[in-house]
Structure formats: C-alpha cells, structure tokens
Amino acid sequence: MINLTITDALKKLKSREISAVELARAHIARIEKYGAELNAYITTTPERALADAAAADARYANGTARVMDGIPIGMKDLFATRGIRTTAASRMLENFVPEYESTISQKFIDAGTALLGKTNLDEFAMGTFSKTSYFGAPINPWQRTRKLTAGGSSGGSTSAVAAGLAMGATGTDTGGSIRFPASITGLVGVKPTYGLCSRWGCVAFASSLDTPGPIARTVNDAALMLSIMAGHDDKDSTSANVNITFDGELRPIFGTGKPVRIGIVKEFADTQISSDMKRIFDARIADMKSAGAEVVEISIPNILDALAAYYIIAPAEASSNLARYDGMRYGLRVDGSDLIDTYKKTRACGFGDEVKRRLVIGAAVLSSESYDVYFMQAARVRRLIADAFNSAFQKCDFIICPAGAGTALPLDSDLSPLEYYALDLFTVAMNLAGVPAVSVPAGLAENGLPLGVQVVAPRFADMEMLRMARHIEEFAGVDNRPTVIMGEKR
C-alpha cells in the first residue's frame, strides 16, 4: 500500500477497495520499521493518524468524502499544529505546544488528511543538509550502506515521502529548501509563487522569501496538494488573492498546437555541475525538443549574485524574526542574574551554531555602518533579478535549469558554511524574484542516485509549470517507489 500514489490511493479509497485506516496502519508500520533509522520525524502522531483515518472512512461510507480524505501525510515541523509540539528543530522550541493551527495544516485537516507526524528539518529551516537540526539529521533512503543527506531544510519531509513513511508532506522553501531536498531524493518539490500559500502559523525565517509548498512522489500528487495549500488568507498580509483549481489531472502542454518556448539560462552555462547532471539535463532538453519545444537562450545577468544577495537578505530578516525568542513569551527560558542576562543565557542556550551565525550576519548587515553597502545593495540586486525574470518570460514560457549540481552527498561531508551556502546556487534566485519553481526527478546518475531538474514559470503560472513538469517526469521515468528505495522485494 505504501507504493501507491496519492492519486491512486484516492481512487481505491473511493471505491472502498482499501480503507483509510488500513492505509494509515501501513504507514505507521513503516514508521515503526524505519523511523528511527531515517530520523525523518521529530514527533510522530499515530493515534491522531488513526483517528483522522477513521473519520475519513466514515465520510467515504456516507458519501461526504473530502478532496484528500484519508491520505496519510507528514507536516514539516515548522507549521504550528494545535496541541502537537512544534519545534522548528530548535532547542528553543523543544517543548512548545501551540494553541493554534497554521493555515496550511488547517487546510490539510479540512481536506481530510491523516496526520502521521511532524517532519525533521534544519533548525529554523536554516541549512541545506538538515544537519543543523537539534534532533539530528534525517537520512536519505536511497542508499543504506553509507549515510547520505536527504537535503535541507525540508529533509525530514523528503526522507519520509521517499521511504514510504508518508504519501506526501509539506515543506517550506526560503532559498531552495523544498527543491534541493526533493532533487536528491527522487521527489517532486514545489516552491509556489510567493504569496500563493499562506505563511500564517508557519515559524518565520525570512518573511519576504518563505514559501510553503508540497513534496510528493509524482507531479500529479504535488498538484493536488498545491491546490489544497493555495488560496487567499486574511491572516497573512502578503497572501495573494489567487486560487488554484485542479480537477485531478494535469493536461499535456505539448501537442496542443500552441508553441512551447523553453528558456535556458545563459549565465548557468559556466557553473560547475556533475557530468551526470549535464547528461541528464541535456537528455531532457532533447526530449522537450522532440516533443515540439522551441529552445531559446535567456539571460538573467545578475543570477550569479543571487547567492550573495540572499545571504544578506535572509539573515537580516531572520535576525528580526528571531528576536522574539527571548525567554519571556514562549519557548526556552534560562534564568540569569537579571533581565539582560536572562536574554543572553536563553539565546546562547536555545540556538545552535548556524542560527547564531545567521543572527550575527543579519545584525551586522542591518547596522547603521553596513546598511547601505550591504542590505540596500542586496535589495537592488534582488530587484534586478526579479526584473530580469520578467523580461526573460517575454521570450519563453518556462525556464529549465538544474536543481543542484549533483547527487546526494554523504552526511558526514566536511563542508564549510560558505560551501553549504554555495549549494543553493540554482535555487535562491527564484525566491528573490518570487517566481514559482519545481524540482522534478529527471534521471538517475551512474551511482544510481536521483537528480532533479527545475521548471521555473512566471508568477502565478504554477499549474502550467506543473503541466510542463509532468512531461519531464514522463520522459525521465524514474522509479521512485519506496520498496525499491529501501531495497525490499516487492
């Protein structure tokens, strides 16, 4: 049962061939078997999943089933869940139990899903390997002989979905945290248009960049999840007044008589990517050409400066957002000799090294001496990049580019902070511009590990983007079923 797509499971649930409780049990058993090894979840909620599933079965029985009724999912532990601890993978929030439900998790409740638990991540979503988690890193299920990263920051979600510990999961993408982990675990990871999915109740990292989105095994499943997550929310002032409709099937983009123009980013041509990525990328472009696409070169002149701009803007916003963790309101409190000492001790104890590094960088670039030379410059670069994307989309309908340079690296890779930051090269520009992007499995490297390619689209063309991604998924034909991944016999 764990090999089913969400789309197929819904058909079987509807026809009553399987029950939601059976489906939940299969996933709970899988979590019992592999949960500890993969460290995909920070908190599991099996009783809740079974109760949700039983309610879904009752609705199937009386004809009131909802759009994702009875589908077991994981929720990134950045989304506040009422009565269920929400940690952001930080010691600061180790024992924080929210009294409210985030908009995104509420939408999944309303859609009838069964909550399996809260998935692991980098502390406050800052990182690329999920190694900054206070609860230890999740593992990539594609290789069991050597521990590989499942990516970050949504690495618990990708580990869980790839290994069959959930049928789909939520993520958040501030600079690549959905797309990069999806690309190295053979999954589909969608960073929607900024403002399409509400951030309300999601622990803030960098508010002008944070984007909730879905992680699933197929493009169709991701489209379904996105249609649930999208929509205006009065509680988020940056929420767009745009809804997405999805009738269960993504229509093809090729063969409709309408020309399809694919843009390739000129500036990415000189970047270092693995020979596997190059081969797979070229093969998928060739497939698109055969399907009728016209391939054009486009230019985003400042795209290689996106990293520098991002690593100024994101820490700046983080230093402001994380000021609230002072031991006074909620979360950890370590008493000191006076108020200031309590602040210091609480923050010194509650935050890990990477978070502290970001807070120091953020405070520095916002200081009066640095504001103009760093923060304002970064904001200008951001504007140039956003404008360049707009111009590029006059020449093409979609941009195709790698999601990362290569396959999953060993978890114990000894990288410097700057080397980690550099891994975001292919993803951060889309966050700065606010445009949607998806990583879709594009092929397997020689070592048998998956690689993802990105489709980028104009703002709010999220569903068209997924229609294109669906073609790439078909061309690539990567078998990413969980039993294959964990090396079990079917």
State the residues that interact with ligand GLN by CB under 6 A.
125-128, 153, 173-177, 205, 314, 424
CB of 427 to ligand GLN, least distance (A): 7
| Closest-approach residue to ligand GLN (CB) | 177
Whichever of 202 and 449 has its CB closer to ligand GLN, that residue is 202
Whichever of 79 and 343 has its CB closer to ligand GLN, that residue is 79
Q: What Rg value do the Cα atoms of the chain yield, rounded?
A: 21
- C-alpha to C-alpha distance for 185 and 130, rounded to whole angstroms: 13
Sheet holding 188-191, edge to edge: 41-44, 114-119, 72-76, 168-172, 212-216, 188-191, 437-444, 450-456, 398-402, 261-265, 294-298
Which is nearest to 40 in space by CA: 155, 129, 152, 123?
A: 155
Whichever of 65 and 126 has its CB closer to ligand GLN, that residue is 126
CA dihedral 99, 100, 101, 102 (to 10 degrees): -120
Question: What is the number of other CB atoms lying within 10 angstroms of the CB of residue 27?
Answer: 27
Q: Which of 177, 198, 239, 439 is catalytic?
A: 177
Whether 118 contacts 96, CB under 8 Å = no
Examine the residue annotation and report whether 235 is marked as an active-site residue of this protein. Answer: no
What are the phi and psi torsion angles at 163 (to 5°)? -95, 0
Task: Tell me the two tokens of residue 303.
Answer: 């795209």
Whether 420 contacts 429, CB under 8 Å = no
CB of 126 to ligand GLN, least distance (A): 5
Whichever of 77 and 464 has its CB closer to ligand GLN, that residue is 77
- C-alpha to C-alpha distance for 127 and 121, rounded to whole angstroms: 9
CB of 93 to ligand GLN, least distance (A): 16
Q: Which of 76, 107, 131, 191 is catalytic?
A: 76
Whichever of 128 and 321 has its CB closer to ligand GLN, that residue is 128
CB of 272 to ligand GLN, least distance (A): 18
CB of 77 to ligand GLN, least distance (A): 13
Which is nearest to 404 in space by CA: 253, 294, 281?
A: 281
Examine the residue annotation and report whether 76 is marked as an active-site residue of this protein. Answer: yes
Buried b (16+ CB within 10 A) or exposed e, 391-422: ebbeebbbbbbbbbbbbbbebeeeeeeeebbe
CB of 297 to ligand GLN, least distance (A): 28
CB of 243 to ligand GLN, least distance (A): 25
Whichever of 124 and 398 has its CB closer to ligand GLN, that residue is 124
Q: Which of 133, 153, 319, 439 is catalytic?
A: 153
Whichever of 173 and 462 has its CB closer to ligand GLN, that residue is 173
CB of 403 to ligand GLN, least distance (A): 13
Whichever of 325 and 475 has its CB closer to ligand GLN, that residue is 325
Examine the residue annotation and report whether 177 is marked as an active-site residue of this protein. Answer: yes
Give Cα 136 to chain centroid, integer Å. Answer: 19
Task: Tell me the two tokens of residue 232.
Answer: 């205006």
- C-alpha to C-alpha distance for 439 and 476, rounded to whole angstroms: 13
Which is nearest to 267 in space by CA: 111, 94, 425, 65?
A: 425
Crossing angle, helix 6-14 and helix 46-62, to 10 degrees?
50
- C-alpha to C-alpha distance for 477 and 33, rounded to whole angstroms: 28
Catalytic positions, please?
A: 76, 153, 177
